[in-house]
Amino acid sequence: MRETNLNREDMVDRQIRSRGISDAAVLAAMLKVPRDLFVPIESRHHAYEDRPLPIGFGQTISQPYVVALMCEALKIEARSRVLDIGTGSGYAAAVMAEMGAKVIGVERKSELEEFAKTNLIRAGYPTVEIHRGDGTLGYPQAAPFDAIMVAAGSPALPSTLKNQLMIGGRLVIPIGPSRHHQHLLRITRQSETDFSSETLGDVTFVPLIGEEGWNDTS
Ligand code: SAH
């Protein structure tokens, strides 16, 4: 217990704060969420390392820094309504729930939907709602959202997703012409019809597979 707390302090200092993340709520949440409970048991001892880790089914839990960068860019606040696409292990969803957001997750793979649900309950985040489905279509039943996090790379911006943002809402999504290399973008809905876009850097995510993403070749 004490050791994992020290590992987390070290992770936040060396990997996150020192790389320029300054949102106090993001730093506090990353200090608190037990990342070791979101990785397969055989990888526990790697949980606080500066890299993504396999979670099975060809998928990964994102690098801690990337989760922090996305949370900061999304400007998550207490009571923000957030859609988490590609919930995977549930770790990013837990960080946003720890920040006080109401999080709804969509995961394409049923095994990972179950993995995320189990992890979130065990880690103390039972209010996160996870659904199995194609996240490229968003989650219209609960739209609009203050923030949408997409944790898989898309060939183009899914128009359904940006239309599920509130005015002023933010969407952070990796977009790129290759399945394994993307630019991380933040799209902000300025009005009913206007959206602005900023690039946050180059990233490597697993592909977003679905109707408005890549084809399934598996
Ligand atoms: N946020 C996760 C990262 C998981 S990796 C974490 O913190 O662990 C990305 C996830 O996106 C994978 O679990 C993959 O199955 C999922 N995914 C890919 N395409 C998807 C889609 N169209 N809808 C929902 N999930 C999708």
CA of 88 to the centre of ligand 1 (A): 5
Q: Which two tokens stand for residue 63?
A: 């690098």
Residue 6: the pLDDT is 87
Q: What is the pTM of this model?
A: 0.98
Cα–Cα nearest to 171, from 131, 203, 210, 144: 144
Q: Which two tokens stand for residue 215?
A: 């084809």
The residues of the chain scoring below 70 in pLDDT are 1, 218
Residue 4: the pLDDT is 86
Q: Which atom of ligand 1 is nearest to the CA of 84?
A: 1
Residue 11: the pLDDT is 98
Write down the domain spans for the chain.
2-203
Q: What is d(CA 99, CA 185) in angstroms, rounded to the nearest whole number?
A: 22
Q: Which two tokens stand for residue 26?
A: 């993001």
CA of 186 to the centre of ligand 1 (A): 18
- Number of neighbouring beta carbons within 10 Å of residue 49: 15
Q: Which atom of ligand 1 is nearest to the CA of 88?
A: 13
Furthest CA-CA distance within the chain: 50
- The C-alpha angle 134, 137, 143, rounded to 5 degrees, equals 120
Alpha helices in 110-195 (DSSP H): 110-123, 159-162
Residues 180, 207 contacting (CB under 8 angstroms): yes
Q: What is d(CA 109, CA 106) in angstroms, rounded to the nearest whole number?
A: 9
CA of 2 to the centre of ligand 1 (A): 31
Cα-flanking dihedrals φ and ψ of residue 183, to 5°?
A: -105, 135
Per residue in 117-143, pLDDT tens?
A: 999 999 999 999 999 999 999 999 999
Q: What is d(CA 127, CA 103) in angstroms, rounded to the nearest whole number?
A: 8
Binding pocket residue ranges, ligand 1, CB within 6 Å: 59-62, 85-89, 91-92, 106-109, 112, 134-136, 151-152, 206, 208-210, 213
CA of 6 to the centre of ligand 1 (A): 29
The residue nearest atom 16 of ligand 1, judged by CA position, is 86
Residue 217: the pLDDT is 84
Residue 2: the pLDDT is 78
Gyration radius (Cα) of the chain, Å: 16
Q: Which atom of ligand 1 is nearest to the CA of 86?
A: 11
Domain 2-203, architecture per CATH = 3-Layer(aba) Sandwich (3.40)
Q: What are the catalytic residues?
A: 62
Strand, helix or coil at 42? Answer: helix
